[in-house]
């Protein structure tokens, strides 16, 4: 039976790399996001990669805003089964000191990063319980910020700390039911979000310093490896980061 995966935020960056890597090993993948053109680019990239290759899975697209609970429920109800959910959709806010963070920015970040991940996980969890055979995996995109904050990023930091609680809760409730949850904490993968790090970013001591980045395909490789593990193996947490970036001892 072909395995089915859903990757949220799959129109660019890490989400695209994850979707392409999963399709390359035979998963039927649906990428979701708010921008149809970007999703189509991911599907097209998968089609090009599949030319002349046997056993490559299909990449489908679905426009979806993960903060829209009704839309999320309808999307997952349209699926016959799901073996893997990758909660990758996320956003940040303009850098701002605590006293300058707007309520709008706070709610947008928390709604997308936390509530959106919960809504998708909830719907996927329910489907994993009722499908035959039952079970599946949920991988949440955490962050180094789930452990150590960057200055002027309190909304993002709080949302990623909360992802840790979400992941642990899912892992607990999936115990004995064939459902496992994993949090991948990623540090400085080279995407549009980290494009300025080579020029220098604000550090905890007030200085500005360049930080290294690494190839996001490496993260995608880990996602594939976890997805292919036997169902009786769980990987609750995994940290993948650019060597030399300020994390251990940040600040």
Average pLDDT for the chain = 93
What is the Cα–Cα distance from 137 to 170, expressed in whole angstroms?
Answer: 10
Confidence of residue 250 (pLDDT cuts 50, 70, 90): low
Q: Which DSSP state fits 26? A: T
Does residue 82 register a pLDDT over 90? yes
Report helix, strand or coil for 201.
strand
Q: Give the model's pLDDT for residue 194.
A: 76
pLDDT at residue 53 tops 70:
no
Q: How far apart are CA 213 and CA 189, in angstroms?
A: 5
The pLDDT of 171-192, averaged and rounded, is 93
Query: Can the peptide bond before residue 133 be classed as cis, meaning omega within 30 degrees of 0?
Result: yes
Q: Which residues are catalytic?
A: 156
Please provide the DSSP assignment of 86-128 as one string.
Answer: EE----------GGG--HHHHHHHHIIIIIHHHHHHHHHHHHH
The CATH number assigned to the domain with range 4-241 reads: 3.40.50.720
Three-class DSSP category at 29: strand
- Answer whether 178's CB lies under 8 Å from 128's CB: yes
Mean pLDDT confidence for 136-155: 94
């Amino acid at each position: 039976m072909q395995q089915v995966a859903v990757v949220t935020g799959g129109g660019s960056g890490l989400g695209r790399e994850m979707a392409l890597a999963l399709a390359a090993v035979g998963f039927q993948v649906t990428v979701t996001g708010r921008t149809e053109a970007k999703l189509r680019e991911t599907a097209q990239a998968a089609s090009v990669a599949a030319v002349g290759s046997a056993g490559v899975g299909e990449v489908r697209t679905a426009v979806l805003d993960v903060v829209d609970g009704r839309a999320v429920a309808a999307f997952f109800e349209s699926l016959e089964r799901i073996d893997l959910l990758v909660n990758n959709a996320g956003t940040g806010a303009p850098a701002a000191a605590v006293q300058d963070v707007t309520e709008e920015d706070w709610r947008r970040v928390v709604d997308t990063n936390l509530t959106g991940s919960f809504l998708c996980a909830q719907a996927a969890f329910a489907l994993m319980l009722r499908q035959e055979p039952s079970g599946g995996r949920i991988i949440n995109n955490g962050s180094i910020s789930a452990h150590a904050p960057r200055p002027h990023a309190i909304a993002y930091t709080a949302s990623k700390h909360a992802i840790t609680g979400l992941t642990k809760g899912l892992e607990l409730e999936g115990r004995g039911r064939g459902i496992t949850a994993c949090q991948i904490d990623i540090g400085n993968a080279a995407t549009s979000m980290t494009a300025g790090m080579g020029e220098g970013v604000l550090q905890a001591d007030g200085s500005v310093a360049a930080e290294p980045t690494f190839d996001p395909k490496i993260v995608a490789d880990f996602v594939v490896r976890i997805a292919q593990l036997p169902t009786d193996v769980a990987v609750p947490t995994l940290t993948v980061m650019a060597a030399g970036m300020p994390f251990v001892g940040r600040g």
